[in-house]
Amino acid sequence: MDRRKFVKTSLAAGVAASFPLVAACGDKAKVATEAEAAVAAVSLDGAEIELSKAAIREFGEALSGPVLLSGDPGYDSARKIWNGMHDKHPALIARCRNTRDIQHAVDFARDNSLLLAVRGGGHSWPGKSVCEGGLMLDLAEMIRVDVDAGARTAWCDGGALLGNLDDATLAQGLVTTAGVVSHTGVGGYTLGGGFGRLNRKFGLTIDNLLAAEIVTADGKVHEVSADNEPDLFWAIRGGGGNFGAVSRFKYQLHPFDRNVLSGLIVWPIDQARDVLEFYAGWQGGLSRELYTGPAMMTHPELGQVIAMEVVYNGDPVQGEKELAPLRAIGKPAVDTVTVQDYKVLQTHEDATVAHGIRSYAKNAMIGEFSQALVDDMLDSFVADPRAAVFTHTCGGAVGDPGATDTAFPHRDVATMIVFFTGWMDPELDEEGKQICRDWHAALEKYSLGYYDNIEQDGDRRVANNFGPNFDRLRQVKGRFDPGNLFRLNSNIEPA
């Protein structure tokens, strides 16, 4: 079976200011009607409020992008985010086109005490980038990426997708760490940490973040870096969207030959013990060039399988040598490992997890890939086509910074196990969530914490999870967002 067929799982079911406001200024009758007709909205603390249409019109006139109200063309597609379970109706959607637009939207939300959701790529599992009744600050039109090949850096808009970033950098023979599904947004992804297939060599995406332009709750624009507003720069490297709306990120890039030894090796599940036991003993000694980790799932054609995804970011001959013992295990049903374009792997799951899927995810950061973990992974395997576990292999450059060097504390980990369920039928929502929770519960005892970006219930345990960084994060939050305007995230309450 070829690789393309393998990745087409059953989950791939596949899924201008046009607000019609009034007319001419100076038309008194019209203005009076407008004043009467208000738009129902929800305040920051959840109360029902009303926004006058005159205020909305003034807001719309200040923005270069459209402000969309319910019933406007484009409103329904703009409010949809990736996870089909979140069907929310913002009172207003502000489609920002530049930093000035973001400032206007932040000012409008703050001045009206309006609930505010910031949408980057819209991949938030718990649906934090859309809100019921508030303002959705929508960055979907801000997707520009400017690569400076000489300096090996890229400025990337806050609404761009990982595919935009990869395309722009790879075209110049450069790359930075980007996640495994190309329609994920750089915004939430970067602010939470950023795991990807190159993280053992280049570190997390936050380790490649050189600077960012951010609009804070007072509407001010800050360009933050290690030298400028270092506390804020520290906080946005792992602290999520708590501190403002990021209009642009500046990334460090690395020279990269996009033809990499990469692919998938898949074994029937009855060989899972051999694969996992081998991996447990092997993964601690992997070179930084090699990224590989196990996944277990039920495939529509192959049945229950264990798979290892492989990317070797270096000389393929060396890569073949390092991979040889893995490829020699048992009898793989599929082995697609060959020298191929990095983009093949970077996009091969895109259709499997297409927009509109209903999905739940949890994860566990694992300190040691022990024999006990192997036994429990085998015992807890859920043979259900809606469920899968994946791993993001850590170690290498992920562990170079200390726990307090960036806001993201989980540096000393061997791997992250991701528990994923996906389905299409809304009637299966409760079942789909429960399968994921149960699988996670079976392995939670090995967890040192979680990666907030791939976690449905992150906001409940935020203090614990940030560990030694929590107090400093609260201080920074108190300084830049004392009114907690940016609260739709795993929220850090201001000190």
CB 281 within 8 A of CB 222: no
Report the residue number, 189 or 480, with the smaller CB distance to ligand FAD.
Answer: 189
293 binds ligand FAD (CB under 6 A): no
Report the residue number, 66 or 185, with the smaller CB distance to ligand FAD.
Answer: 185
Report the residue number, 192 or 396, with the smaller CB distance to ligand FAD.
Answer: 192
489 closest CA partner among 131, 104, 71: 131
d(CA 394, CA 142): 31
CB of 82 to ligand FAD, least distance (A): 5
Report the residue number, 11 or 305, with the smaller CB distance to ligand FAD.
Answer: 11
CB of 159 to ligand FAD, least distance (A): 7
Strands (E) across 205-289 are located at 209-215, 221-225, 245-252, 254-255, 259-268
82 binds ligand FAD (CB under 6 A): yes
Report helix, strand or coil for 382: coil
Q: Which of residues 17-46 bind ligand FAD (CB under 6 A)?
A: none
Report the residue number, 56 or 162, with the smaller CB distance to ligand FAD.
Answer: 162
Q: How far is CA 323 from CA 177, 282, 308, 317, in A?
A: 22, 10, 11, 10
Q: Which residue is associated with the tokens 């495994």?
A: 180
Q: Which of 44, 191, 366, 462 binds ligand FAD (CB under 6 A)?
A: 191
415 binds ligand FAD (CB under 6 A): no
7 binds ligand FAD (CB under 6 A): no
Count the Cβ atoms, other than its own, within 10 Å of residue 457. Answer: 14
Local structure of residue 351 (DSSP, 8 states): T
476 binds ligand FAD (CB under 6 A): no
x/- contact string, 119-148, with ligand FAD (CB under 6 A)?
A: xxxxxxx--xx---------x---------
**By CB under 6 A, which span of 10-18, 22-30, 180-188, 338-346 interacts with ligand FAD?**
180-188
Report the residue number, 180 or 382, with the smaller CB distance to ligand FAD.
Answer: 180
Q: How far is CA 188 from CA 64, 454, 489, in A?
A: 24, 11, 9
Q: Which of 6, 59, 108, 195 binds ligand FAD (CB under 6 A)?
A: 195
Q: Which residue is associated with the tokens 């595919």?
A: 163
Q: How far is CA 84 from CA 15, 233, 256, 425, in A?
A: 9, 33, 36, 10
185 binds ligand FAD (CB under 6 A): yes
118 binds ligand FAD (CB under 6 A): yes
Report helix, strand or coil for 161: strand
| Number of residues binding to ligand FAD, judged by CB under 6 A | 37
Q: Which of residues 237-276 bind ligand FAD (CB under 6 A)?
A: 240-241, 245-246
CB of 236 to ligand FAD, least distance (A): 8
**By CB under 6 A, which span of 40-48, 186-194, 433-441, 461-469 interacts with ligand FAD?**
186-194
Report helix, strand or coil for 435: helix
Q: How far is CA 409 from CA 192, 405, 476, in A?
A: 11, 8, 16
Q: Which of residues 324-353 bind ligand FAD (CB under 6 A)?
A: 353
Residues 6+ apart with CB under 8 A from 375: none
Q: Which of 184, 283, 298, 393 binds ligand FAD (CB under 6 A)?
A: 184
Is residue 229 left, alpha or beta, with left meaning phi > 0 and alpha meaning psi from -120 to 50?
Answer: left
Instruction: Name the site residues for ligand FAD (rule: CB under 6 A).
Output: 81-82, 118-125, 128-129, 139, 158, 179-181, 184-185, 187-189, 191-196, 240-241, 245-246, 353, 453-454, 488-489
